Copies of this chain bind each other. A is one copy, B any other.
């Protein structure tokens, strides 16, 4: 579909970009023009008057477990390891492939309400999440999970190949759940597969102090240094959470160009801690933001995460200037895209894929307009998402979903699934 959006404010998120007034053209899956108003003789299928609303690259949810929406508000108020071992793992064990498909659809609805255009997911049965995304027109990058008692490196490699050879909305990156749920043999096999496919490797990393302590007891070193020693980072990659990092860990991340994906709301709620984003930013380490799963967060909302990414740095460094709004917006858009290997969806640039969000500026929380970027990061909320476009298709507009299934049907299914597991 060829769509012209005019009378817009536009923030391309290209280096040094400022908010301009102009228009954005989408032809097929791609952006064909971004800039000042100009005439065209293209037969537009749709022309949208943005009424001064803001276009920017869609948010990238750089760490999540979509299907975990079924445990939203199910077992809160517990520390990480107790929550994971006593509540989450036993419930997850009861999930079927089909459950994962249905639950992933619910998460995708929620991503769209928050202006997210892609998710970096780690969950069992990656083909089910891929199916949900393709059907709904959403973009997903999967890390097939590997855990000692669950899917093996061999299965993960098969999934990786399948994910990268199907629909273009879907891609795969190698990884594993975490050091504390792996064996040395598994990690050797993943390292071999990563070398063979030249894939980055992602895993949960240094989310809890006890996790790091346990890793040191088991391996003699920190999770990051251990993964480096196991040869996992020859083609880059990164870590989810990255709260408890040593100086050596940070040196490894710099040397390997690793990404740190932060999940501030989940880390607060599980009392895990606060990732040292300002320090990592100063060291030049690439940063991205994820929501984590709804079981721990409990919402899938990039606005909450952006506010926390800056506000918690101000608190923990004691410096109200820490991690300014622009740096955080970079993380939520360009940073996420690059961490996920979505280099074709990072900015609003002619030739790139059209993954776009429109922010409603005609709401009280966006006024007055002293600083539009600060309004967005410090004051924005889901209420401001006027439109979410993925791959040139408008999937969410005026609070309604342009998808083939009724949201109520998806909600009913999610409630039915959890009712059947209790």
- Which residues from chain A sit less than 8 Å from chain B, CB to CB? 69-74, 76-80, 83, 106-107, 109-110, 113, 265, 267-271, 273-274, 294, 297-301, 303-304, 307, 310-312, 314-315, 317-322, 324-325, 362-365, 367-372, 374-375, 378-383, 399, 407-408, 410-411, 414-415, 417-418
Taking A72-B368, A364-B110 as contacts, is the C-beta distance between A299 and B381 under 8 angstroms? yes
Q: Is the CB of B78 within 8 A of A365?
A: no
Closest to A401 in B: B364
Q: Find A315's partner among B76, B268, B365 (CB 8 Å cutoff).
A: B268
Q: List 22 A-B contacts (CB under 8 A).
A: A70-B368, A71-B370, A76-B320, A76-B371, A106-B368, A113-B365, A265-B307, A268-B311, A269-B311, A271-B318, A273-B315, A274-B315, A299-B365, A299-B380, A299-B381, A300-B364, A364-B410, A367-B410, A381-B381, A381-B382, A381-B383, A382-B383
Query: How near does chain B come to A265, taking the closest CB pair, in angstroms?
Result: 7
| Chain B residues, CB < 8 A from A267 | 315
Q: Is the CB of A408 within 8 A of B362?
A: yes
Q: Is the CB of B106 within 8 A of A367?
A: yes
Known: A113-B383, A304-B304. 17 other contacts (CB 8 A): A69-B368, A72-B367, A73-B375, A73-B379, A76-B324, A76-B371, A77-B314, A79-B319, A109-B364, A269-B378, A270-B320, A299-B378, A301-B381, A362-B407, A364-B407, A368-B414, A368-B418
Taking A320-B271, A368-B70, A418-B370 as contacts, is the C-beta distance between A76 and B383 under 8 angstroms? no
Q: Is the CB of B362 within 8 A of A411?
A: yes
Q: Is the CB of B365 within 8 A of A320?
A: no
Q: Is the CB of B78 within 8 A of A321?
A: yes
Q: Is the CB of B314 within 8 A of A270?
A: yes
Return the 9 tightest CB-CB contacts between A and B, nearest first.
A73-B374, A110-B364, A299-B379, A268-B311, A298-B378, A109-B364, A73-B371, A382-B383, A368-B414
| Chain B residues, CB < 8 A from A310 | 269
| Chain B residues, CB < 8 A from A307 | 265, 304
Q: In whole angstroms, what is the CA distance A95 to B418 when docked? A: 55
Query: How near does chain B come to A305, taking the closest CB pair, in angstroms?
Result: 11
Closest to A294 in B: B379
Query: How near does chain B come to A362, taking the closest CB pair, in angstroms?
Result: 7
| Chain B residues, CB < 8 A from A314 | 77, 268-271
Query: How near does chain B come to A130, taking the closest CB pair, in angstroms?
Result: 20
Q: Is the CB of B324 within 8 A of A77?
A: yes
Query: How near does chain B come to A162, taking the closest CB pair, in angstroms?
Result: 28
| Chain B residues, CB < 8 A from A371 | 73-74, 76
| Chain B residues, CB < 8 A from A83 | 320
| Chain B residues, CB < 8 A from A294 | 379
Q: In whole angstroms, what is the CA distance A304 to B116 when docked? A: 19
Taking A271-B315, A320-B270, A415-B367 as contacts, is the C-beta distance between A298 and B106 under 8 angstroms? no
Q: In whole angstroms, what is the CA distance A417 to B321 when docked? A: 26
Q: In whole angstroms, what is the CA distance A318 to B274 when docked? A: 12
| Chain B residues, CB < 8 A from A76 | 320, 324-325, 371, 374, 378
Q: Is the CB of B415 within 8 A of A72?
A: no
Closest to A105 in B: B364
Q: Is the CB of B269 within 8 A of A379?
A: no
Closest to A112 in B: B364
Q: In whole angstroms, what is the CA distance A172 to B229 when docked? A: 66
| Chain B residues, CB < 8 A from A273 | 315
Q: Which of A270, A368, A375 has the most CB of B within 10 A?
A: A368
